[in-house]
Amino acid sequence: MSARSPKVKAPPKHAPGTRVEFANGAVAVAQPDGRLKIVSGASRQYLDRIRGQPRREVSPRAAKAAFTRYYNKRDYKTEGARKAAKTRDRNYASPVRKTSTYLRNPGKYDYPGVDVGPKSHPKATGARAAALARGRAVSAARRRSRSPRA
């Protein structure tokens, strides 16, 4: 087994005290250890350019394609589980987005006419609510009984 050679640190690219300007307009000063310390951020023009672009509206066809792609690429044990997930998404309401935000995660957002459902997520009632309350009480008691960490 050969001994590992120690890492050789590359010499600094910039002399200490040198001002370096990045492509986005930010300015940094080179430190004696070779690192760069940013002294002023990106230029106003650069920030306006990257922030100022509103998200584009998405067509219903593109939204349907994204919805199908989202659920077809995910792993499910059975085809029935996949269909159940799609049905749940279609039936229950989530935040509605008509822009490209929807394309990023169709499972998190809804698009009108594709998966906006009339139902809201149900609240636990009766025996189920009582069981949840008991479980929360047990969990809280366990947290209180633990000794504090040193």
The predicted model scores a pTM of 0.52
Print burial letters for 113-141: b (CB count within 10 Å at least 16), e (below 16): ebbbeeeeeeeeeeeeeeeeeeeeeeeee
Interval 36-52: pLDDT, tens:
999 999 888 888 888 87
Does pLDDT of 150 surpass 70?
Answer: no
pLDDT tens digits for range 77-115 = 999 999 999 999 999 888 999 999 999 999 999 999 998
* Largest distance between two CA atoms of the chain: 72
- pLDDT over 90 at 144, yes or no: no
